[in-house]
Every structure is written in structure tokens, then in C-alpha cells.
């Protein structure tokens, strides 16, 4: 058996799911092939919409530290150890610089830096009772962290959303209450931290979702433009040639007439492909399924007998189309090597569906399929066996010289 004719859908299936069209700098022809239309998919830019949030966090970190310095200068005379307060401020400044530099790179926005950020804030809160003094804290003096402790909460919220921000807010809020003393606690700071973590986390997730949708829209637009470019090129070349061959050979006999018929079929298939059209699903079956009997019934002719069950054999539409295409490829081989006389039998076995194609031709000599594959003639290997294997099914070929050939294709009802 020889290989079956190539189909347009098989050719276009090799293209990537989306491509980027790079505009030309001039109106002239491309130079050196570097300006062709098809290039690699568009990569997702690092950081994306989250970058402005991280920059805002850096501004908040230093602004809140400046506010802490003002409060320390105002209340230093009431501190138990005012010199130690200056050392703590220097440590907070050093960490603010380190955290800002670290968060500037998307690769560093992981757990090591996030945990270190919270640890530093907890350390500042832990030394607050000794530096400020319990007596001063009892009279309402702010802790050394005060609003600066909100920076780790915002960092966790930006990196992980509402839940992560809420966890950091609870952790630092409880530590702030412990530093003040649980005798007369004020939960206002804890509530503010929770609100900041939840709101900023929600905004961060919205930014990520918006970025993903924008990326999909850009990919879709690029794919649409490339499709239009290909359609123009195909219309100007391939379709016109196929139409010319079909018109010139429509009234010829023999192989010329057969070539004209095949050209007409491929022209119609190619026009439907570049137009993005597909047959509407029948109303008597669930959406997304196709009746295999109806698809294979179209192959019936004076030389091809199709036997199907009395009831429809519904399959997922992609599975049914692939089985029909494999059957068509088998019939093509029968037409070329067995005088076109063939019998097609469809059996619905519940979990599986079996399609058998039998002919009364000369049969396949032993080793012929291996030799054909070695010569690059992969009609049965790709058009039949490849399709059915991709669906999770099996193909069995029974043939002997002078006894005809039977190709049995068994596929699971839901496909592979």
C-alpha cells in the first residue's frame, strides 16, 4: 500500500499555537530572512504589573522610617535607653536599603527574603520594651517599629495575595501587642495591619490576573494577524493553483481527472481552514460529539460498502474526525492498490468502537510496510496507525499475498 494524500489540516497542525508578527522597519523586502512573519512566542516580561507595587513599597518603607525617626526624636527623653534607640534606627535604615535592593529583582521575591523581612521587624519589636521602657509604653509612647512594621505585611501581600498578607499582619500585630503589654492592649494597630494586608493583597492578585489576560489578548491578536497574513499568501498562490487544476482537469478521464477532483477537495478544505469555519453540530446529539456512522456513511459508493449499527455511534467530535480521517486514508490505499473495492464495518462495543476496512486486493507482501517506512512512505504508519495511537487505540493489520487486507482500528469511546 502507498501513502495517502496529505491533508491541509496536517500541514497547518505543525504551526505553533500563537506567533508574534514583528513589524518591518521599511516598506522594502526583508533582508537576509531576518524579518519573516513567524518568530518565537512572546515571552512574559518579568515583574509585570507587580513592579509598580514593589516600587511603592520601597517608598512606603523609607517614608515610614522617616516618621519613626521623628517620633524617636520627640520622645527620646522618655526612653530608658535613648542611645540604643539610635542604634536600632541605624539597623532599620540598613535593612530598608537591603530589602529595597533585594525586592527590586523578581528572582529575589521569594521566601528567604520575605521571612528575613518579618524577622527583622519582629526583632525591632522584641527590643522595644528594653529600649523604650515599660513605663513609657504604658503611657502611650509608640513602639520603635510603629508604622514601619507594615512594610513586611505589604511585601507578603504583594507576593502572595490576601491570605499571605493576613498571616503576616496577624504575626506582627500580635508581636506589637506583646511589646506594649497585654494589660491594656489596643488592637487598632492590628486591625490596620489586617486591612492593609488584605486590601493590598487583593489589588496585587487583580494586577496578576490583568497581566495574564493582557498576555492572552496579545497572543490572540498576534495569532489573528498571522492567520490573516497566511490567508492572503495562500489565497494568492495555493488556492489559485488548486482552483486552476480543478477547472482544467474537471472534464478529463483517468489520473488527470482524479488529480482534478483531489485538487478541488483540498481547495475547499483549505478555504474552510483559513476562514476558521467548522461544521455546526447536529441538534440531535450533545454539543461536542459527532456521529461516527454519519461521518463514515459519506464514504459509501458503488465500490465501497459501509455497514454501521442501526443506532448512532456518538463519539467526541475530535475523536470521530480522527477515526474518519484514518478510515479515509485506508480507503485511499484500497483505491490505489485493490481496485477500490472495499468493505467498512463499524462495531459499537460500549467502551470501545471498532472500525474495520477490508478489501479483496492482492494483499501486502511480507516486509512491505517496513520497507515503505524506511523509504519515507508513511501512509499507514502516520495517517492510520499514528492517528489511532494518538487516540489511545490500536491498529491490527491482517494481510497475505493474494488474500486481501483487513485493517482493524479499535479506539476507546472517550479517546486518549
pLDDT in tens, 199-236: 999 999 998 888 888 888 888 888 888 877 776 666 55
Residue at which a domain ends, from 173, 196, 215: 215
The grid coordinates of residue 368 equal: 512491505
The answer to whether residue 364 sits within a structural domain is: yes
The answer to whether residue 136 sits within a structural domain is: yes
Residue at which a domain ends, from 183, 198, 215: 215
> Does residue 68 sit in the same domain as residue 199?
yes
The answer to whether residue 35 sits within a structural domain is: no
> Residue 407: beta bridge partners?
357, 397
pLDDT class for 61, splitting at 50, 70, 90?
very high
pLDDT class for 152, splitting at 50, 70, 90?
very high
pLDDT for residue 40 is more than 50: no
CA distance linking residue 363 with residue 134, whole number of Å? 99
DSSP element (H, E) containing 98:
helix 82-103
CB 89 within 8 A of CB 72: yes
CB 359 within 8 A of CB 398: no
pLDDT for residue 336 is more than 50: yes
The answer to whether residue 264 sits within a structural domain is: no
Domain around 350: 288-412
The answer to whether residue 314 sits within a structural domain is: yes
> Does residue 189 sit in the same domain as residue 330?
no
Render pLDDT for 343-385 as a digit per residue (tens, 0 to 9): 999 999 988 999 999 988 887 777 666 566 555 455 565 678 8
pLDDT for residue 89 is more than 60: yes
pLDDT for residue 35 is more than 60: no
Position 288 scores a pLDDT of 79
pLDDT class for 11, splitting at 50, 70, 90?
very low
Average pLDDT of the residues of the chain: 79
Position 7 scores a pLDDT of 46
> Does residue 64 sit in the same domain as residue 194?
yes
pLDDT for residue 62 is more than 60: yes
- Any residues with CB less than 8 A from the CB of 367 and at least 6 apart, and which? none
Position 276 scores a pLDDT of 56
> Does residue 67 sit in the same domain as residue 199?
yes
CATH number of the structural domain spanning residue 354: 3.30.565.10
Residue at which a domain ends, from 185, 215, 245: 215
DSSP element (H, E) containing 208:
helix 188-236
Phi, psi of 397 (to 5 degrees): -115, 120
The answer to whether residue 203 sits within a structural domain is: yes
> Residue 357: beta bridge partners?
344, 407
> Residue 397: beta bridge partners?
407
> Does residue 319 sit in the same domain as residue 179?
no
> Does residue 198 sit in the same domain as residue 83?
yes
The answer to whether residue 23 sits within a structural domain is: no
Position 26 scores a pLDDT of 37
Render pLDDT for 163-183 as a digit per residue (tens, 0 to 9): 999 999 999 999 999 998 876
pLDDT for residue 1 is more than 70: no
pLDDT class for 97, splitting at 50, 70, 90?
very high
CB 175 within 8 A of CB 104: no
Render pLDDT for 180-199 as a digit per residue (tens, 0 to 9): 887 656 788 889 999 999 99
The answer to whether residue 230 sits within a structural domain is: no
Domain count across the chain: 2
Amino acid at each position: 500500500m502507498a501513502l495517502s494524500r496529505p491533508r491541509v489540516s496536517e500541514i497547518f497542525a505543525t504551526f505553533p499555537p500563537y506567533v508574534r508578527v514583528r513589524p518591518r522597519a521599511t516598506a522594502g523586502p526583508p533582508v537576509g530572512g531576518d524579518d519573516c512573519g513567524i518568530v518565537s512566542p512572546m515571552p512574559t516580561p518579568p515583574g509585570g504589573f507587580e513592579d509598580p507595587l514593589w516600587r511603592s513599597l520601597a517608598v512606603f518603607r523609607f517614608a515610614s522610617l522617616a516618621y519613626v525617626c521623628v517620633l524617636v526624636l520627640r520622645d527620646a527623653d522618655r526612653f530608658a535607653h535613648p542611645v540604643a534607640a539610635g542604634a536600632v534606627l541605624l539597623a532599620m535604615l540598613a535593612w530598608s536599603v537591603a530589602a529595597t535592593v533585594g525586592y527590586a529583582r523578581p528572582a529575589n521575591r521569594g521566601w528567604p527574603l520575605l521571612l528575613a523581612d518579618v524577622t527583622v521587624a519582629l526583632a525591632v519589636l522584641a527590643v522595644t520594651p528594653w529600649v523604650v521602657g515599660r513605663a513609657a509604653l504604658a503611657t502611650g509612647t509608640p513602639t520603635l517599629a510603629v508604622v514601619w512594621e507594615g512594610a513586611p505585611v505589604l511585601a507578603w501581600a504583594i507576593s502572595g495575595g490576601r491570605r499571605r498578607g493576613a498571616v503576616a499582619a496577624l504575626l506582627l500585630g500580635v508581636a506589637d501587642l506583646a511589646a506594649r503589654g497585654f494589660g491594656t492592649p489596643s488592637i487598632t494597630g492590628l486591625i490596620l495591619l489586617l486591612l492593609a494586608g488584605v486590601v493590598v493583597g487583593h489589588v496585587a492578585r487583580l494586577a496578576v490576573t490583568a497581566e495574564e489576560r493582557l498576555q492572552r489578548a496579545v497572543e490572540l491578536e498576534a495569532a489573528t494577524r498571522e492567520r490573516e497574513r497566511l490567508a492572503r499568501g495562500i489565497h494568492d498562490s495555493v488556492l489559485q493553483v488548486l482552483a486552476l487544476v480543478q477547472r482544467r482537469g474537471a472534464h478529463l478521464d483517468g489520473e488527470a481527472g482524479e488529480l482534478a477532483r483531489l485538487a478541488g477537495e483540498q481547495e475547499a478544505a483549505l478555504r474552510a481552514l483559513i476562514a476558521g469555519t467548522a461544521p455546526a453540530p447536529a441538534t440531535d446529539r450533545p454539543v461536542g460529539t459527532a456521529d461516527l456512522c454519519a461521518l463514515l456513511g459519506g464514504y459509501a459508493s458503488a465500490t465501497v460498502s459501509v455497514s454501521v449499527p442501526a443506532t448512532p455511534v456518538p463519539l467526541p467530535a475530535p475523536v470521530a474526525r480522527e477515526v474518519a480521517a484514518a478510515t479515509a486514508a485506508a480507503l485511499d490505499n484500497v483505491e490505489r492498490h485493490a481496485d477500490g473495492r472495499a468493505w467498512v464495518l463499524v462495531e459499537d462495543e460500549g467502551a470501545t468502537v471498532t472500525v474495520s476496512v477490508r478489501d479483496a486486493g492482492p494483499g501486502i507482501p511480507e516486509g512491505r510496510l517496513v520497507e515503505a517506512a524506511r523509504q519515507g512512505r508513511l501512509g499507514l504508519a502516520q495517517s492510520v496507525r499514528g492517528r489511532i495511537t494518538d487516540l489511545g487505540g490500536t491498529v491490527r493489520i491482517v494481510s497475505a499475498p493474494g488474500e486481501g487486507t483487513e485493517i482493524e482500528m479499535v479506539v476507546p469511546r472517550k479517546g486518549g
